[in-house]
Amino acid sequence: MRTIHHYVNGTSYEGTSGQTQDVFCPSTGKVQAQVVLANKGDVDHAIAEAAKAQPAWGNTNPQKRIRVLNRWLQLITENMDELARTLALEHGKTFPDAKGDIQRGLDVVEFALGAPHLLKGEYSTQVGTGIDTYSMRQPLGVVAGITPFNFPAMIPLWKAGPALAAGNAMVLKPSERDPSVPVRLAELFVEAGGPQGVLQVIHGGKEAVDAILDSDIIQAVGFVGSTPIAQYIYTRAAETNKRAQCFGGAKNHAIVLPDADIEATASAIVGAAFGSAGERCMALPVVVPVGQETADKLAASIAEKARALKVGHSLDPESDYGPLVTQDSLDRVNRIVSEGVEAGATLLVDGREWTFTDKTFDGESLAEGFYAGPTFFDNVTTDMDLYTVEIFGPVLAMVRANTLEEATALATNHEYGNGVAIFTQNGGAAREFARNVQVGMVGINVPIPVPIAYHTFGGWKASGFGDLNQHGPDSFRFYTKTKTVTQAWPQAEDAGPQFTMPLMN
């Protein structure tokens, strides 16, 4: 049985806890590895070693740091297929989707190559007689990233790229469900010339998270996961005087106006709702057609397309999407689907009918895999769990609306405010919607509006805690502190002591 260790100081580290957890292949349901779990002592050790390595890295010319990151990008690209295969086999997303996971992370590292420019301060001369003022951006020191299972390459790269480019050391605690790719990314960083200890990877659960939050050395924490944990980390970080950037759950809406191209819109929604088995914070689990005719046509088209989807092994090139990450995830999805039926929603496509008992791939049975077929409900109401709860599975709920104002209010009033999309050919309606809806990221005829790397990613309301978002310029603001210097050089005549605030004149 393969064992996945921590990665500390450029080498494999067993730790001292003696605890391990199974890592499954979701496509077959079989255990494929054991990951070691850290105790507080292991985390403290990784943090202390990172603190030793950070000063030299932080004092390195930013251009030299960027050369290391550029080589890191090259190595990740050269090893793309290996990384994507590992990711697909541990998470369950398809091989092409796994490559996309990695590439979207690389996009942010590429943006971080602009660090020498992004770290520039400001300078004002002669703010007073003989007085100049300037500012400089400096690294925080040692920071931490606590990242989720659903993007085991993208989110670690979103955290590590800007943090390392800014001169920090990072202690990364990825999900223990699919931990191999983050370890491999750290290995490639050292192979690219990164100093040992500057990027540490520690596996673990709540004990490891609490050790990070309790550490006096860690200066900032970036987190992506569920809203309850995001709020917990945000609160604890405030108590221990750390910066926090915490992103939680989502319930993204797709608003469809009567003038939208129904077939094209249905295809976009099916891909966004069921891709990666719905295990995306930017998935579209709620569709809101405006008007009964629009709703009837859209429901028929979505149902037809959903029934035609192929669900299978993550490495099967014919699979539209693969399994959920764990059996617990599958059980939860099936429970919510059953409760939706009991609540009175109209079940148009029942994912529980998909069976895999007689299916194989590459000689392996899929009978024990964690598969959920696409499920589509119509006539969902806002008091149902189908609407209020983040399901994180291939379940799509249709909530009908009579007007654009009513549809906009649904997205605005929901607890979550991560992403929203509108499908229309009416530019004026789309513009007003984008201005008025109270959601952090908006797509206009774009079903998954994840911003490009040089804009920021982040939700509102219960989807995000903290005032700075991921990637883009915000990432460098988050991972640096600003120091402002006011300087005056001694003149021939000493004016003597001053007992009032200095006046710049």
Q: What confidence tens digit (pLDDT) does each residue in 186-244 have?
A: 999 999 999 999 999 999 999 999 999 999 999 999 999 999 999 999 999 999 999 99
**What's the CA gap between 378 and 7, in Å, rounded?**
48
What is the structure's pLDDT at 497?
73
Output 346 or 469, whichever has higher pLDDT.
Answer: 346
What is the structure's pLDDT at 438?
98
Average pLDDT over residues 95-117: 98
Alpha-helical runs (H) found in 369-442: 385-388, 404-413, 427-436
pLDDT at 502 over 80: no
- Per residue in 6-20, pLDDT (tens digit) is 999 999 999 999 999
Q: Which residues have a Cβ under 8 Å from the Cβ of 239 and sit 6 or more positions away?
A: none
- Per residue in 124-174, pLDDT (tens digit) is 999 998 999 999 999 999 999 999 999 999 999 999 999 999 999 999 999
Q: First CA to last CA across the chain, in angstroms?
A: 73
3-class state of residue 503 by DSSP: coil
Paired with 376 in beta bridges are 349, 396
pLDDT at 100 over 90: yes
Residue with tokens 């390195």: 60
Q: What are the extents of the domains in the chain? A: 2-248+459-485, 253-444
**What's the CA gap between 140 and 453, in Å, rounded?**
22
What is the structure's pLDDT at 356?
87
Question: Which are the catalytic amino acids?
Answer: 281
What is the structure's pLDDT at 368?
96
Alpha-helical runs (H) found in 240-316: 262-274, 292-307
Work out the percent of the chain whose per-residue pLDDT is above 90.
Answer: 94
The phi and psi torsions of 270 (rounded to 5 degrees) equal -60, -45
What is the structure's pLDDT at 501?
76
**How does residue 495 score in pLDDT terms, banded at 50, 70 and 90?**
low
Burial class for 446, CB neighbours closer than 10 Å (0-12, 13-18, 19+): middle
**What's the CA gap between 104 and 219, in Å, rounded?**
26
What is the structure's pLDDT at 491?
73
Helices (H) and strands (E) in the chain — how many of each?
16, 25
- Per residue in 366-403, pLDDT (tens digit) is 999 999 999 999 999 999 999 999 999 999 999 999 99
What is the structure's pLDDT at 505?
60
**Residue 369 DSSP symbol:** S
> For the whole model, what pTM was predicted?
0.95
The phi and psi torsions of 290 (rounded to 5 degrees) equal -100, 115
What does the mean pLDDT of the chain come to? Answer: 96
**What's the CA gap between 64 and 60, in Å, rounded?**
7
- Residue 184: closest CA among 52, 1, 12, 20: 12
Helix pair 80-91, 180-191: axis angle to 10 deg: 160
Instruction: Tell me, yes or no, if the two domains 2-248+459-485 and 253-444 fold the same way.
Output: no
**What's the CA gap between 452 and 439, in Å, rounded?**
17
What is the structure's pLDDT at 504?
63
- Residues 187, 189, 191, CA angle at the centre, nearest 5°? 70
What is the structure's pLDDT at 91?
98
Instruction: Quickly name the fold that domain 253-444 has.
Output: Aldehyde Dehydrogenase; Chain A, domain 2 (3.40.309)
pLDDT at 490 over 90: no
Domain range 2-248+459-485, its CATH number among 3.30.70.250, 3.30.920.30, 3.40.605.10, 3.90.420.10: 3.40.605.10
- Residue 366: closest CA among 353, 378, 356, 379: 356
Residue 282's Cα: distance from chain center in Å?
9
**How does residue 493 score in pLDDT terms, banded at 50, 70 and 90?**
low
Tallying the residues shown for the chain, one arrives at: 505
- Per residue in 110-124, pLDDT (tens digit) is 999 999 999 999 999
What is the structure's pLDDT at 12?
98
Residue with tokens 């549809």: 407
Residue with tokens 């003696």: 18
**Region label for 151, one of left (φ > 0), alpha (ψ between -120 and 50) or beta (otherwise):** beta
3-class state of residue 412 by DSSP: helix
3-class state of residue 375 by DSSP: strand
Half-sphere exposure of 426 (CA within 13 A, CB side): 14
What is the structure's pLDDT at 499?
78
**How does residue 473 score in pLDDT terms, banded at 50, 70 and 90?**
very high
